[in-house]
Amino acid sequence: ILEHAEGMAKFDGEGLLTCRWDEIETVEVKTVSYLVYFVPVGSRSVISVNWAHEKQIRIDEAREPLADLAVLFQRISEESARHLVSRFLAATEAGETLTFGEFKLSKSGLHWGSHFFPWDDSKNLDFKEGLRIRHPEALLHPWWRLEELQFPIPNRLVLSCLAEHYMSENSMKAGVRRSDPKRDS
Residue 141 pLDDT greater than 80, yes or no: no
Residues 48-78 have pLDDT tens digits of 999 988 889 999 988 887 778 889 999 999 9
* Distance from C-alpha of 50 to C-alpha of 100, rounded to nearest angstrom: 14
Each domain of the chain, given as residue ranges in start order, spans: 1-69, 97-185
| pLDDT: which is higher, 40 or 176 | 40
Whether the full predicted model's pTM is greater than 0.75, yes or no, is yes
Three-state helix/strand/coil letters over 79-101 = HHHHHHHHHHHHHHHCCCCEEEC
First to last CA, the chain: 59
Residues 34-54 have pLDDT tens digits of 889 988 898 888 999 999 888
**Does the CA dihedral 136-140-143-148 come out positive or negative?**
negative
DSSP assignment letter at 155: T
